[in-house]
Amino acid sequence: MGPVPPETPAADAADSPAPDDAYVELERELRTLLRRAGAVAGAMARRIHPDLDASAYPLLAHIADQPGIRGSELAAHFGVGRATISRQLSRLFDLGLVARDVDPEDSRGQLITLTPDGRTRLHAAHTGRVASITEALSRWQPDDVATLAGLLHRYSDDVVRWNASR
């Protein structure tokens, strides 16, 4: 075997991705993830109730995490208009999954909570989803799962902060 030629700046540049390449790759992976997540969200919603669409699962999960939340707060959290949230909440109310109570501090407002049936159905769907993720990532090390969760949380926070500053 002959001598190894010294590395040159041109060779290093060709072997190293350009800084923008990482963002191009990230965008491609996010696009794929979001497409797949949409299908999963639809399946999760149907686990809760056969008449629900994909937007219902994250909405119900957030109501479970923030019982007594107002519709305006939900709209702000999800970045949608109040009319959109109102329609979604009406659907969930009609299906018996959420309850609306008058806000004792402002009779014009309503506080949204899950009904016992909504809680039971959401819990069953959530448990099934965690089991599916656990099975799908069974070959991952727990530290890798924790790292991914932390990075996704950081990504989400940074995108929300960036979006709010625009």
112, 98 in Cβ contact below 8 A?
yes
Compute the residue count for the chain.
Answer: 166
Question: What tens digit of pLDDT does each residue of 32-88 get?
Answer: 999 998 888 888 888 899 999 888 889 999 999 999 999 999 999 888 999 999 999
Rounded to two decimals, what is the model's pTM? 0.77
Interatomic CA distance for residues 60 and 52, integer angstroms: 11
Q: Give the residue numbers spanning the domain of 138.
A: 23-156
Please tell me the predicted confidence (pLDDT) of residue 40. Answer: 86
- Give the CATH number of the domain where residue 149 resides: 1.10.10.10
pLDDT digits (tens, 9 = 90+) for 86-116: 999 999 999 999 999 998 888 888 999 999 9
Q: Give the gyration radius of the chain's Cα atoms.
A: 22
Beta bridge mates, 69: 112
Least confident of 13-17, 23-27, 154-158: 13-17
Burial of 98 (0-12, 13-18, 19+ CB in 10 A): buried
Q: How many domains does the chain have?
A: 1
Is residue 5 situated within a structural domain? no
Any domain includes 161: no
